[in-house]
């Protein structure tokens, strides 16, 4: 079902109000604070944020309150959500920003897109990100092992984590806890700071990380021998 029909008042009432809501503004506020803190630790100056599929806009609320100087673009494909919460109407499978943002947030969106649309969306997220990406997408494993089926929308495109990693890996290094670092940013990560690289992806990842070795040396202060 297209986003404009599925994501209506009833959808947001069911998933964002009452005891069975997926998460609250204060929970997402803690996630936003943690992400901003990690960005500062990784020396990513967050002056601009793009949020994709923003729904009730909890991330934007945190940034408005705690980082009022940040330029924030919140987007959603749902006409209802855009009217209700004042987002720009954008379908991430068909749109990419003209210039990249320091932080891109995409929470709980990609599982609603079919394979072709999700693959295009990942390319668009990558084109729109020059620093960090926060990404949450429910996978097949999550449906079986992690989520509470009474509270989570299980009518989704359930793909494997590897499906996502294969498409993210050319553009991002996985930091962990939903955070991905744009390879183009050359953010230096110690070996144990990042998630282990999937064996199938090791070759392309090591080629990309060699390109950022100069930046890594800058952070460790070590001389190359």
Ligand X SMILES: C[S@@+](CC[C@H](N)C(=O)[O-])C[C@H]1O[C@@H](n2cnc3c(N)ncnc32)[C@H](O)[C@@H]1O
Contacting positions for ligand X (CB under 6 A):
3, 7, 52-56, 58, 76-78, 81, 91-93, 107-109, 112-113
Complex with ligand X: residue 6 or 216, whichever CB lies closer: 6
C-alpha 86/C-alpha 43 separation (Å) is: 31
C-alpha 146/C-alpha 148 separation (Å) is: 7
Tokens of residue 160, six digits: 């494997």
The dihedral over CA atoms of 143, 144, 146, 149, expressed in degrees to the nearest 10, equals 60
Shortest separation between residue 185's beta carbon and ligand X, angstroms: 23
User: What Rg do the C-alpha atoms of the chain give, in angstroms?
Assistant: 18
C-alpha 40/C-alpha 38 separation (Å) is: 5
Complex with ligand X: residue 77 or 185, whichever CB lies closer: 77
Whose CB is nearest to ligand X?
55
Shortest separation between residue 94's beta carbon and ligand X, angstroms: 8
Shortest separation between residue 142's beta carbon and ligand X, angstroms: 13
Complex with ligand X: residue 129 or 185, whichever CB lies closer: 129
C-alpha 53/C-alpha 87 separation (Å) is: 9
Complex with ligand X: residue 107 or 205, whichever CB lies closer: 107
- Could you tell me if 180 and 173 are in contact, meaning their C-beta atoms sit under 8 angstroms apart? yes
Shortest separation between residue 89's beta carbon and ligand X, angstroms: 9
Shortest separation between residue 108's beta carbon and ligand X, angstroms: 4
- Could you tell me if 115 and 137 are in contact, meaning their C-beta atoms sit under 8 angstroms apart? no
Complex with ligand X: residue 76 or 188, whichever CB lies closer: 76
């Amino acid at each position: 079902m297209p986003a404009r029909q599925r994501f209506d008042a009833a959808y947001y009432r069911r998933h964002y109000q009452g005891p069975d809501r997926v998460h609250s503004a204060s929970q997402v506020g803690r996630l936003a604070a943690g992400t901003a803190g990690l960005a500062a630790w990784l020396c990513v100056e967050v002056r601009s944020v793009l949020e994709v599929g923003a729904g009730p806009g909890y991330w934007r609320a945190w940034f408005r309150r705690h980082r009022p100087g940040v330029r924030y673009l919140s987007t959603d494909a749902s006409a209802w959500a855009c009217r209700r919460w004042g987002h720009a109407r954008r379908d991430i499978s068909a749109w990419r920003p003209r210039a990249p943002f320091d932080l891109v947030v995409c929470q709980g969106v990609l599982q609603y897109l079919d394979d072709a649309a999700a693959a295009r969306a990942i390319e668009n997220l990558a084109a729109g990100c020059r620093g960090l990406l926060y990404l949450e997408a429910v996978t097949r494993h999550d449906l079986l092992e992690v989520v509470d089926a009474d509270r989570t929308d299980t009518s989704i495109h359930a793909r494997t984590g590897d499906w996502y990693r294969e498409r993210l890996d050319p553009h991002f290094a996985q930091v962990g806890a939903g955070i991905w670092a744009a390879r183009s940013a050359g953010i230096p990560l110690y070996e144990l700071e990042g998630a282990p690289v999937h064996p199938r992806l090791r070759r392309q990842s090591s080629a990309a990380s060699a390109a950022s070795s100069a930046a890594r040396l800058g952070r460790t202060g070590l001389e190359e021998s």
